């Protein structure tokens, strides 16, 4: 084999398997048959590299389509904008930042929402510090710190794993993904506190960060099986729910009828109202309010999802409208029950 070959045949096992599935084995006389990928590698190394490049491009395009059309709307929307809707390189970099912020807000809402719905003792994930005080309190769950959100997610996933508590969230996000997102968040903090970048600098920074964001999104493919939705009304029976779905980058309203398992009615009955944002995943359904809420356009033609940025007082919350980065205050009395349930698990 030529010394110029820097790629080993074993480096691309996934490609080799797929290539061999599509191409017949090569038979030479009485010798055992050779895998097509093995023959290509040794017979035409450059063609082998080109085939890998095409394979990776198709694979990346397929993942992009999944993100754009099947991931929760906040993630899909900002990813689409970073790909297609930017006005300059600095704007594009900000949209990429908004993409991974959307990842954190979405995962946080899902993990906390499921933990609340399954009565996970969140007080037990706190750790005493050197002064003997617990390092997490109720107010921390409404902090505007993304690092704090990642810490809480990590603690909940670890706790559920250590005590064999079944959470769907462990299927959606791995602890390694949390660490990768934490690294991205550190990068976010770095460029948020630097002087304005030139267009060339912003383009270079985008090129550095995009692969990291894309890798995180690739690791979170279970998000494509998760639906964020808002209950609208029943459709003929108590288990048929018309819900507004927030899936994919399009902001067009989608209100299909969702069939739910009758066994879930008892647990979500009090949450089936127009003030709750729900998550449906693997035949389970639970509220992610107040960490996700909504804002309805004045003309009633569109419902905007909103992140909970922070808790301002016992009844006031600051939210940010997804797609606008515009903050506004909400009277939290409309979801007092969800907050009180959460408080009871933390305190």
The pair of three-digit structure tokens given for residue 241, joined into one six-digit string:
């729910």
Residue identified by tokens 């590698």 is 41
Q: Average pLDDT per run of 10 along the chain, which is 347 residues long?
A: 76 96 94 95 95 96 97 98 96 94 97 96 92 91 95 97 94 93 83 78 94 95 96 90 95 91 81 89 92 87 92 94 91 92 95
Contact criterion met (CB below 8 Å) for 219 and 174: yes
Mention every residue, 6+ apart, whose C-beta is less than 8 A from residue 214: 60, 63
* Predicted pLDDT at 297: 82
Q: What is the dihedral of CA 176, 64, 324, 174, to 10 degrees?
A: -10
* Predicted pLDDT at 191: 67
Report field, pTM of the whole predicted structure over 0.75: yes
Secondary structure class of 12 (helix, strand, coil): helix
């Amino acid at each position: 084999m030529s010394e110029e070959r820097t790629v080993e045949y074993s480096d691309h096992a996934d490609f080799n398997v797929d290539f061999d599935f599509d191409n017949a084995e090569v038979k030479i006389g009485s010798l055992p048959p050779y895998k097509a990928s093995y023959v290509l590698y040794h017979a035409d190394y450059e063609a082998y590299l080109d085939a890998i490049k095409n394979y990776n491009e198709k694979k990346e395009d397929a993942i992009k389509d999944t993100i754009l059309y099947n991931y929760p709307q906040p993630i899909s929307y900002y990813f689409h904008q970073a790909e297609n809707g930017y006005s300059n390189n600095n704007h594009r970099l900000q949209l990429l930042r908004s993409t991974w912020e959307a990842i954190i807000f979405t995962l946080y809402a899902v993990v906390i929402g499921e933990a609340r719905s399954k009565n996970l003792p969140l007080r037990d994930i706190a750790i005493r510090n050197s002064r003997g005080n617990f390092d997490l309190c109720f107010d921390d769950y409404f902090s505007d710190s993304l690092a704090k959100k990642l810490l809480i997610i990590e603690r909940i996933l670890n706790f559920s794993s250590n005590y064999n508590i079944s959470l769907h969230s462990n299927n959606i996000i791995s602890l390694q993904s949390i660490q990768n997102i934490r690294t991205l968040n550190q990068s976010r903090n770095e460029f948020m506190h630097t002087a304005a970048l030139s267009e060339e600098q912003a383009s270079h920074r985008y090129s550095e960060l995009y692969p990291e964001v894309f890798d995180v999104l690739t690791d979170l493919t279970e998000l494509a099986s998760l639906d964020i939705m808002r209950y609208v009304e029943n459709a003929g029976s108590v288990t048929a729910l018309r819900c507004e779905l927030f899936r994919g980058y399009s902001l067009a309203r989608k209100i299909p009828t969702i069939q739910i398992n009758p066994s879930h009615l008892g647990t979500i009955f009090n949450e089936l109202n127009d003030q709750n944002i729900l998550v449906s995943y693997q035949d389970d359904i639970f509220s992610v309010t107040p960490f996700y809420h909504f804002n309805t356009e004045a003309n009633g033609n569109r419902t905007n999802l909103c992140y909970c940025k922070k808790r301002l007082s016992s009844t006031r919350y600051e939210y940010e409208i997804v797609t606008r980065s515009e903050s506004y205050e909400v009277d939290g009395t409309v979801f007092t029950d969800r907050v009180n349930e959460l408080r009871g698990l933390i305190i």
